[in-house]
Structure 1
Amino acid sequence: MPDWIYLFFLRSTMAGSSESKQEAEGYGNLMVHFQSYLHGGISSLLSTLPTFIVFPVYKTVFRQQIHNTPVHKAVGQLYREGPVKLYRGVAPPLLMRTLNGTLLFGLQDTLLRQLYLSSQNIIPTNALPALAGFGAGIIEAVVFTPFERVQNVLQNSQNDSRLPSLKSVLLRLKAERMAAGYYRAFLPIAARNALGSSLYFGLKGPVCVAVAEQGLSPIASSFISGTVISMAVSLTLYPLSVLVANMQAQVGGEVKGVTACWALLWKSRHRSLALLYRGGSLVILRSCITWGITTAIYDSQKKRSG
């Protein structure tokens, strides 16, 4: 065989092998990205049962946030309304919880990989998870603000007579302009979600390592780290959650801006942090159950696939 023919076939074979290798690597990277979304969705789906169980706790907190009542009075209100109305508004958080984990963990992992490739040592490596979490939190707010809006309208007992069903709520909000309807309180939600996600993903690794050094199993370390971080994040950002609940619970009437709504809320709490944080202890309980389980399941799945 002439040398030039041999060289031609050799280069063609090498080029084909290189292209096949690149395609395989691309497919592998795609599967790695998909696994992050899948693991986030599964872990959140499995934690929806605790979410359903502790929904009365969440609703009790919501009543405290809206009506500024002690816990025993909020529980009394729910008891008088009966078990049928107790779970009114549970569908949006259950759906949101599953989709939330899918997007939050998947987007954070996707953004983190892009930051690793593009940062070029400009940003410290240990700060990248928090930065990716911040971006994922912003996108999360864009997607899930309508869910939270519907949930808060359904949970407000003052809307029961005017808006008795989920369909009536959806039609009523659709009739409003976006800023007053489905995207009411978007700015405080975006701030809360972005800061919360940034703190969660920024602290998750270091806290988990610190807990594991105490001799605990990987699952226990993930559970405790998720619980501690979510508890700290929930308490830090609790005032924003109270503001969101008060802004979103009502439908119609005068639409005030974030600053005006905060001023009214602060005045209604008699400028007292203790009253503003009413119901905060129940947030700790909810965080311990949901985010602890979600973190443990997600980390376990990631280690198995890794």
Structure 2
Amino acid sequence: MAAAPPTPLATATTATPGVTVKTEKRIAGTSEILVMYPLDVVKTRFQLQVGSGAGEEVYTSVLDCFKKIIKNEGFSRLYRGILPPILVEAPKRAIKFSANEQYSRILKSINGKDKMDQSLSIQAGIAAGCTEAVVIVPFELVKIRLQDKGNAGKYNGTFDAITKIVRHEGPLALFNGLEATVWRHATWNGGYFGSIFSIRKALPKADNKQQQLRNNFIAGAIGGTIGTMLNTPFDVVKTRIQNDSGTVKKYNWTIPAIKTVAQEEG
């Protein structure tokens, strides 16, 4: 027999926790961006830096980069371009997790399995990462353009950057670096999900909730580190491709771009 429809009170009661959880996740995601964004700016500056040497424009370390940005450009420059990641945070997370769930169901059905194993988790993670990449590319491109010191006088903000990019380079320019972004997300997810199962098995068995949290933290940290090590070359060329606004581009496709960087810069 079908269950009776919930009363308005029951609906409100059951809906509130879900809404609260979603709100908490959005707040947590935005807070993470606010805290970590200066490091993202520093990362971009290093990825765009070509060659080595000495001088005011060359960054020799993370701390040196922080000091020079604050000294020469002002503290606020560490947050230039933060709007695009904030705008895309909620849809990015929603698409990533819903896509992962959908791909997991499809893969379990195709392979005739009731539960996800390591191989299926890797496949679902890579597919979800590729789906997420398509959504975030325009936001990443605008963010990179605003983070680059060389574009300081070129764009007055997020919407000015979008307008000028579309006007001078065409609307498809917002998707420059799509291939590299797909590579970046696929390798990170593959490295993360490919290692996290093995790491969890290698850790001591958790006997309580605190030990389980410890194991999850350790496995996540190591898995994230492995994923980052694997995807960094793709992230570097993605940044180079997306920041190139010229008509004759030095970097076009991912693998040739990696070869060029390796040959010219080591």
TM-score (norm 1): 0.68
Change (3 A) 1:40 1:101: farther
Change (3 A) 1:51 1:223: farther
Q: Choose the corresponding residue for 2:46, options 64, 78, 90.
A: 64
Render the CA deviation track for 1:64-90: whole Å, top value 9, x for unaligned. Answer: 111143125422331121022221011
TM-aligned CA deviation for residue 253 of structure 1: 3.3
- Partners of 1:217 and 1:140 lie apart in 2 by 32
Q: Choose the corresponding residue for 2:258, options 253, 256, 262.
A: 262
Aligned to 2:109: 117
Question: AA paired with 1:66?
Answer: L
Q: Mind listing any 5+ residue stretches in structure 2 that lack a counterpart?
A: 4-17, 51-58
- Partners of 2:187 and 2:171 lie apart in 1 by 24
Aligned to 2:36: 54
- Decide whether the 8 Å contact of 1:243 with 1:261 is kept in 2: yes
- Decide whether the 8 Å contact of 1:208 with 1:221 is kept in 2: yes
Q: Which secondary structure state, in structure 2, belongs to the residue aligned with residue 237 of structure 1?
A: helix
- Partners of 1:39 and 1:105 lie apart in 2 by 14
Q: Which secondary structure state, in structure 1, belongs to the residue aligned with residue 80 of structure 2?
A: coil
Q: Which secondary structure state, in structure 1, belongs to the residue aligned with residue 174 of structure 2?
A: coil
Higher relative contact order (CA 8 A, sep 6+): 1
- Which residues of 2 match residues 129-278 of structure 1 at below 5 A? 129-175=121-167, 176-179=169-172, 181-211=173-203, 213=205, 217-255=211-249, 256-258=251-253, 259-269=255-265, 272=266
- Decide whether the 8 Å contact of 1:40 with 1:106 is kept in 2: no
TM-aligned CA deviation for residue 40 of structure 1: 8.4
Question: AA paired with 1:235?
Answer: M
- Which residues of 2 match residues 280-295 of structure 1 at below 5 A? none
Change (3 A) 1:41 1:173: farther
Q: Mean Cα displacement is larger for which, 247-256 or 61-70?
A: 247-256
Question: AA paired with 1:75?
Answer: F
TM-aligned CA deviation for residue 159 of structure 1: 0.9
TM-aligned CA deviation for residue 55 of structure 1: 1.6
TM-aligned CA deviation for residue 206 of structure 1: 4.1
TM-aligned CA deviation for residue 249 of structure 1: 1.8
Question: AA paired with 1:165?
Answer: G
| Identity over aligned pairs, percent | 20
Task: Point out 4+ residue stretches in structure 1 off by more than 4 angstroms.
Answer: 38-45
- Decide whether the 8 Å contact of 2:193 with 2:223 is kept in 1: no
- Decide whether the 8 Å contact of 2:126 with 2:190 is kept in 1: yes
- Decide whether the 8 Å contact of 2:80 with 2:147 is kept in 1: yes
- Decide whether the 8 Å contact of 1:189 with 1:244 is kept in 2: yes
Highest Rg: 1 or 2? 1
- Decide whether the 8 Å contact of 1:189 with 1:240 is kept in 2: yes
Paired residues, what number? 238
Render the CA deviation track for 1:115-134: whole Å, top value 9, x for unaligned. Answer: 1122226xx94311111111
RMSD after superposition = 3.1
Q: Which secondary structure state, in structure 1, belongs to the residue aligned with residue 261 of structure 2?
A: helix
TM-aligned CA deviation for residue 94 of structure 1: 2.9
- Partners of 1:84 and 1:212 lie apart in 2 by 45
TM-aligned CA deviation for residue 48 of structure 1: 3.2
Render the CA deviation track for 1:171-206: whole Å, top value 9, x for unaligned. Answer: 122232455x11111111111112222332343344
TM-aligned CA deviation for residue 243 of structure 1: 0.8
Aligned to 2:86: 94
Aligned to 1:288: none
Aligned to 1:30: none
- Decide whether the 8 Å contact of 2:83 with 2:158 is kept in 1: no
